[in-house]
Amino acid sequence: MVTPIPERHLFGPGPANPYPEATAGLGLPLLGHLDPDFLQIMDEVCEMLRTVWGTSNQRTLPLSATGSAGMEAAFVNTVGRGDVAVIAVNGLFGERMCDVAARCGAEVIRVDHEWGQPIDPQRVVDAHPDPKVIAAVHAETSTGVRSDIAALGRLKGEALLIVDAVTSIGGIDLRTDDWGVDVGYAGSQKCLGVAPGLAPFTINDRAFARRIERPQSWYLDLGLLGGYVGEASTSHTGRTYHHTAPTGMIASMHGALSRILAEGLDQVIARHEEAGRILQDGLQELGLELFAAEGSRLPELTTVKVPDGVDSATVRKELLTRYNIEIGSGVGPYAQTVWRIGLMGHNARPDTARLMLAALEDCLGR
Amino acid sequence: MVTPIPERHLFGPGPANPYPEATAGLGLPLLGHLDPDFLQIMDEVCEMLRTVWGTSNQRTLPLSATGSAGMEAAFVNTVGRGDVAVIAVNGLFGERMCDVAARCGAEVIRVDHEWGQPIDPQRVVDAHPDPKVIAAVHAETSTGVRSDIAALGRLKGEALLIVDAVTSIGGIDLRTDDWGVDVGYAGSQKCLGVAPGLAPFTINDRAFARRIERPQSWYLDLGLLGGYVGEASTSHTGRTYHHTAPTGMIASMHGALSRILAEGLDQVIARHEEAGRILQDGLQELGLELFAAEGSRLPELTTVKVPDGVDSATVRKELLTRYNIEIGSGVGPYAQTVWRIGLMGHNARPDTARLMLAALEDCLGR
């Protein structure tokens, strides 16, 4: 282990630097997972998660694993052998959904879109007359693109709508209930400003009623998890032990969510918007070309094309060694030709945007 | 959220109070999951885990979830539809194994034992002539009983041996390779002295070669995970992204494992032994009766019968409110009649044992 550990500016696609309040939460005395004071923390986390999800869903909770396990939870609880799942793919995480759903035995109907473009809701719903679920990624971490989930919700018909909000929650507008999202999952380590390790999750009554009774995953079985997070009761008694919740991480998330709501969710979203605008304007002023389609660019995660004649890895290494700045490479076909720059959570600020631009300008010799 | 958060003595079945070095690890600057300095931390964690597992298995790593997900990983990667799984049951966690294996489609052959007794290895292997896997719990958290895994390993034949080491790792002798364990899983929050959230896992080449090629879980697919933890390479380059590892928790585990190995694993085990002996002797001197069979008692987790005429919950509540001491109730049929007292990891000390005895003596009015 390198000593001292370098203090990185985590400007990649996540994890981001946590909110100070999240780090402080990790230093609090550890509580047991059935401690009445911990159960109160858990209840408050669930309540604050409802606010950032934009939902009144009773079954809103942090799953005890990372965002990808949230994806798995969404599918194992809703699709079984032979169920039709229509999945919109416009990047890596849509592709991953297809893999996960297929492992549940679903008949996957994949609706591909060009990477860098948002999904086309009408094409997605036209792919099958009566799917059990329709799934899409709100903010594609691989391409920096925002898709119109509200439009998909209006068109979904009887299908359950599953939405990946890993990179949108806590950073841009997210309205689970208003948009008709039935199942949503997210991650802790991006705009929520917590270290990786938790997957905020929400499912409405309609989806819960149509769930798989005994999913192939015990760990992610929402029917079993409900007893622990207090589904049947608003008191702190009568909780059923399921597994040992990561109490320290949940205290950390409590710190971050309290901070976000104290600042004001609208203000936090505006802060992401402003930081992203400064960054994206500045990149273009440097003569760089943005990758994501105009009008669908995420403020919290910017994709930019590597200029001709520039080696992607060399610049990333120089940012890391000279400035302690981490940015991400592209993904899949764009691994060498795109950079991903995230200004998420605590990092969504004008000063970080200016730092990023100044460092990149220097490393590019412009 | 209660302010200030109470400083509990976590003397239940886990989580235990973390080692100070584990808490310090949480305060280090957060690194990205592909940062070269983080990959070095991850490599060192895997290497230290090999020591506490007693294995040279290349595929030894911390899974990004709690111990119960480790159980799920063990089964989803080794058993599929129709595979025979012989499972020794002498408590709650053996029962849970049956549930998890059945969800993988396995034909589960359950070999029940009286709770409080160790498993009978001969009975277990006699249950089926040619199972794909045999599974057992090394240290049953629900009953405080240690079973003889070495004997099971000698008798296992061609079957793969899966062992639950959640409550044994870092606390008592554990010899994965010498005992013939093919797949092992554990948790971070007990004798390893880390907060809950990681599942140390190990699988040998023999089991990996016989694994399920495309397990029903994407998140726990060991074939995919291998690319990230550097299976194909000892360098820090060429790692394949799978999911975002909980980098903060892994830095915390690095702190705890470094501490354990600096103290000396044998000394740590002796410390658990001594603390358990002081506690168990003291409980009997108070006139209490131990629950686990003599000769098979875990030093790190003691089960003791609630005396006649004493209400279990009342005493637990008094310990919590007067002394900030958490102990556990019993499980299942013993929920009201047994207490579970853990002195694990950082809590495995003579002073904590004496504190526990003094507080219990006071609350019992003895």
Q: What is the pLDDT of residues A242-268, one digit of tens each?
A: 999 999 999 999 999 999 999 999 999
Task: Enumerate the residues of chain B whose CB falls inside 8 A of the CB of residue A41.
Answer: 1
Mean pLDDT of the B81-93 span: 98
Q: How far apart, in whole angstroms, are the C-alpha atoms of residue A8 and residue B183?
A: 36
Q: With CB atoms and an 8 Å threshold, state whether A246 touches B196.
A: yes
Which pair of tokens denotes residue B228?
């990230």
Residue in chain A lying closest to B27 (CA): A23
Interface of B with A in 312-351 (CB under 8 A): 320, 326
Q: How far apart, in whole angstroms, are the C-alpha atoms of residue B328 and residue B339?
A: 6
**C-alpha distance from B237 to closest chain A C-alpha (Å):** 12
Q: With CB atoms and an 8 Å threshold, state whether A189 touches B244.
A: yes
Q: How far apart, in whole angstroms, are the C-alpha atoms of residue A34 and residue A47?
A: 18
Which pair of tokens denotes residue A88?
């919109």
Interface of A with B in 277-316 (CB under 8 A): none
| pLDDT bucket at A234, cuts 50 / 70 / 90 | very low
Q: Is A223 on the interface with B (CB under 8 A)?
A: no
Task: Enumerate the residues of chain B whose CB falls inside 8 A of the CB of residue A79.
Answer: none
Task: Enumerate the residues of chain B whose CB falls inside 8 A of the CB of residue A92.
Answer: none
Residue B250 has pLDDT above 60, yes or no: yes
Q: With CB atoms and an 8 Å threshold, state whether A103 touches B254.
A: no
CB A363 within 8 A of CB A319: yes
Chain B interface mutation, best of A244, A323, A324, A331, highest count of B Cβ atoms under 10 Å? A244
Tell me which residue of B200, B116, B119 sits closest to B156, measured CA to CA: B119
The overall average pLDDT reported for chain A is 96
Sole residue written with tokens 């240690």: B146
Predicted local confidence at residue A48, as pLDDT: 98
Tell me: the pLDDT tens digits for B267-300?
A: 999 999 999 999 999 999 999 999 999 999 999 9
Q: Pick from B189, B243, B248: which is nearest to A244 by CB?
A: B189
Q: Is A213 on the interface with B (CB under 8 A)?
A: no
Q: Is B69 on the interface with A (CB under 8 A)?
A: yes
Q: Pick from B103, B215, B243: which is nearest to A214 by CB?
A: B103
CB B344 within 8 A of CB B17: no
**C-alpha distance from A276 to closest chain B C-alpha (Å):** 21
- Three-state DSSP class for residue A3: coil
**Which residues lie closer than 8 Å to B216 by C-beta, 6 or more apart?**
A103, A104, A216, A217, B76, B104
Q: With CB atoms and an 8 Å threshold, state whether B103 touches A248.
A: no
Predicted local confidence at residue A233, as pLDDT: 44
Percent of chain B at pLDDT > 70 equals 98
Predicted local confidence at residue A231, as pLDDT: 57
**Which residues lie closer than 8 Å to B356 by C-beta, 6 or more apart?**
B9, B11, B279, B325, B327, B341, B343
Q: With CB atoms and an 8 Å threshold, state whether B103 touches A216.
A: yes
Tell me: the pLDDT tens digits for A66-125?
A: 999 999 999 999 999 999 999 999 999 999 999 999 999 999 999 999 999 999 999 999
Distance between terminal CA atoms of chain B? 35
∠ CA B319-B321-B326, nearest 5°, is 45
In angstroms, the Cα distances linking A257 to A30, A98, A260, A279 are 18, 31, 5, 25
* Torsion (CA) B248, B254, B260, B261 in degrees, nearest 10: 180
Task: Enumerate the residues of chain A whose CB falls inside 8 A of the CB of residue B28.
Answer: 5
Q: Is B214 on the interface with A (CB under 8 A)?
A: yes
Q: With CB atoms and an 8 Å threshold, state whether B65 touches A68.
A: no
Tell me: the pLDDT tens digits for B207-224?
A: 999 999 999 999 999 999
Q: With CB atoms and an 8 Å threshold, state whether B67 touches A243.
A: yes
What was the ipTM of the complex prediction? 0.96
Q: With CB atoms and an 8 Å threshold, state whether B195 touches A248.
A: yes
Whether the upstream peptide bond of residue B62 has omega within 30° of 0, thus cis, is: no
Q: With CB atoms and an 8 Å threshold, state whether B69 touches A68.
A: no
**Which residues lie closer than 8 Å to A12 by C-beta, 6 or more apart?**
A326, A327, A328, A340, A341, A342, B32, B34
Residue in chain B lying closest to A100 (CA): B218
Q: With CB atoms and an 8 Å threshold, state whether B243 touches A67.
A: yes
Which pair of tokens denotes residue A193?
């400003």
Q: With CB atoms and an 8 Å threshold, state whether A103 touches B218.
A: yes
Whether the upstream peptide bond of residue A246 has omega within 30° of 0, thus cis, is: no
Antiparallel, parallel or unpaired: β A160-164 and A133-137: parallel
Report the side by side order of strands in the sheet with B160-164. Answer: B59-63, B199-203, B183-185, B160-164, B133-137, B84-89, B107-112
Q: Is B29 on the interface with A (CB under 8 A)?
A: yes
Q: How many CB pairs under 8 A join A and B?
A: 199
Whether the upstream peptide bond of residue A299 has omega within 30° of 0, thus cis, is: no
Domains and their CATH numbers in chain B:
9-16+265-364 (3.90.1150.10), 20-262 (3.40.640.10)
| pLDDT bucket at B230, cuts 50 / 70 / 90 | low
Q: Pick from B6, B14, B28: which is nearest to A244 by CB?
A: B14
**C-alpha distance from B24 to closest chain A C-alpha (Å):** 8
Mean pLDDT of the B163-186 span: 98
Q: How far apart, in whole angstroms, are the C-alpha atoms of residue A358 and residue A341?
A: 14
Residue B63 has pLDDT above 50, yes or no: yes
Q: With CB atoms and an 8 Å threshold, state whether A65 touches B69.
A: yes
CB B134 within 8 A of CB B207: no
Q: Pick from A7, A37, A320: which is nearest to B5 by CB?
A: A37
Its pTM stands at: 0.97
**C-alpha distance from B203 to closest chain A C-alpha (Å):** 20
More confident residue, A232 or A321: A321
**Which residues lie closer than 8 Å to A199 by C-beta, 6 or more apart?**
A62, A63, A65, A66, A67, A68, A69, A70, A73, A185, A186, A187, A188
Q: With CB atoms and an 8 Å threshold, state whether A103 touches B214.
A: yes
Q: How far apart, in whole angstroms, are the C-alpha atoms of residue B293 and residue A170?
A: 52
Task: Enumerate the residues of chain A whose CB falls inside 8 A of the CB of residue B29.
Answer: 5-8
Q: With CB atoms and an 8 Å threshold, state whether A64 touches B69.
A: yes
Task: Enumerate the residues of chain B whose CB falls inside 8 A of the CB of residue A27.
Answer: 23, 26-27
| pLDDT bucket at B238, cuts 50 / 70 / 90 | low
Q: Is A138 on the interface with B (CB under 8 A)?
A: no
In angstroms, the Cα distances linking A185 to A42, A201, A226, B198 are 17, 4, 16, 20
Tell me: the pLDDT tens digits for B92-150?
A: 999 999 999 999 999 999 999 999 999 999 999 999 999 999 999 999 999 999 999 99
∠ CA B61-B65-B70, nearest 5°, is 65
Predicted local confidence at residue B180, as pLDDT: 98
| pLDDT bucket at B236, cuts 50 / 70 / 90 | very low
Q: How far apart, in whole angstroms, are the C-alpha atoms of residue A326 and residue A340?
A: 10
Tell me: the pLDDT tens digits for A15-67?
A: 999 999 999 999 999 999 999 999 999 999 999 999 999 999 999 999 999 99
Tell me: the pLDDT tens digits for B19-33?
A: 999 999 999 999 999
Residue B237 has pLDDT above 60, yes or no: no
**C-alpha distance from A14 to closest chain B C-alpha (Å):** 7
Residue by residue, DSSP assigns A102-131 as HHTT-EEEEEE--TTS---HHHHHTT-SS-
Task: Enumerate the residues of chain B whose CB falls inside 8 A of the CB of residue A71.
Answer: 218
For A207-212, which contacts have Cβ atoms below 8 Å and span 24 or more sequence positions?
A207/A78, A207/A160, A207/A182, A207/A183, A208/A59, A210/A78, A210/A132, A210/A160, A211/A77, A211/A78, A212/A76, A212/A77, A212/A78, A212/A79, A212/A80
Mean pLDDT of the A161-185 span: 98
DSSP A346: G
Q: How far apart, in whole angstroms, are the C-alpha atoms of residue B87 and residue B101?
A: 9
DSSP A8: -
In angstroms, the Cα distances linking A124 to A113, A138, A155, A266, B95 are 10, 14, 9, 30, 43
Predicted local confidence at residue B228, as pLDDT: 72
Question: Which range (A141-150, A174-183, B229-238, B337-346) has the least confidence?
Answer: B229-238
Q: How far apart, in whole angstroms, are the C-alpha atoms of residue A56 and residue A202?
A: 9
3-state secondary structure chain B: CCCCCCCCEECCCCCCCCCHHHHHHHCCCCCCCCCHHHHHHHHHHHHHHHHHHCCCCCEEEEECECHHHHHHHHHHCCCCCCCEEEEEECCHHHHHHHHHHHHCCCEEEEEECCCCCCCCHHHHHCCCCCCCEEEEECEECCCCEECCHHHHHHHCCCCEEEEECCCCCCCCCCCHHHHCCCEEECCCCCCCCCCCCCEEEEECHHHHHCCCCCCCCCCCCHHHHHHHCCCCCCCCCCCCCCCCCCHHHHHHHHHHHHHHHHHCHHHHHHHHHHHHHHHHHHHHHCCCCECCCCCCECCCEEEEECCCCCCHHHHHHHHHHHHCEECEECCHHHCCCEEEEECCHHHCCHHHHHHHHHHHHHHHCC
Q: With CB atoms and an 8 Å threshold, state whether A248 touches B197.
A: yes
Task: Enumerate the residues of chain A whose CB falls inside 8 A of the CB of residue B320.
Answer: 35
Tell me which residue of A79, A77, A96 sits closest to A88, measured CA to CA: A96
